[in-house]
Amino acid sequence: MTNLLAIFRQTPGDPDTVVARLVEAWECARSIDLHGKTIEIAVQYGGEHAADLPALCNLSGFSDREVVRIHYEATYRVFALGSAPGFGYLHGLDPRIYMPRKTVPSLNMARGCVTIGGMQTGVAVLTGPNGWNSIGYAELQMFDPLSSTPAIMAPGDTVRFVPERIEL
């Protein structure tokens, strides 16, 4: 990920100097290789929660079975958490099944939908509006605010999607 969020308690007196210092630090930064745990997520591919699979097939030129196979054969890395509590941005999507984010989001995508958004994949952690493309469903609760570790994913973790059922 190549994003940076800087939060200030007050507006800097000379914002240009602050921006210059941030850019300089960014350019000098070294990458780190976080080694986390491996998470396997059982997925029901296809079915009622795969509303966007036909569009992905049309874009990619692959059959639904091929798209599903390409998705679950990959190994993904959690790059960041965000957009909703516990949502993991997963890197490692095969470019052959790239699917741009929707221009008009789904208004009520279910929690647990396995999605593709651009060159990333993930699992919706909340029911509601979502601009990613759903190809399946995972029962696993990705975030539990009452747990000592509320988010099951953390940056550096490895994620594998395991087909539990395929309904195509």
CB-based contact 20:141 (threshold 8 Å)? no
Helix H or strand E segment including 65: helix 64-73
Q: How many domains does the chain have?
A: 1
Q: What is the CATH number of the domain that holds 52?
A: 2.40.100.10
Percent of the chain with pLDDT over 90: 88
Please compute, for residue 71, the number of CA atoms within 13 A of its CA located in the half-sphere on the CB side.
Answer: 39
Residue 139 has a pLDDT of 96
In a domain, 120, yes or no: yes
Task: Give the model confidence (pLDDT) of 77-127 as tens digits.
Answer: 999 999 899 999 999 999 999 999 999 999 999 999 999 999 999 999 999
Q: What is the pLDDT of residue 17?
A: 94
Q: How confident is the model at residue 2 (pLDDT cuts 50, 70, 90)?
A: low
CA distance 90 to 98: 13
The average confidence (pLDDT) of the chain is 94
Residue 22 lies in a domain: no
Q: Domain residues for 94? A: 38-167
Strands 158-167 and 38-46: parallel
pLDDT of residue 35: 82
Would you say residue 3 lies in a domain? no
For residue 14, tell me if it sits in a domain.
no
Residue 2 domain flag: no
Domain-located, residue 64: yes
Distance CA 37, CA 93 (A): 19
pTM: 0.83
Per-residue pLDDT for 1 more than 70?
no
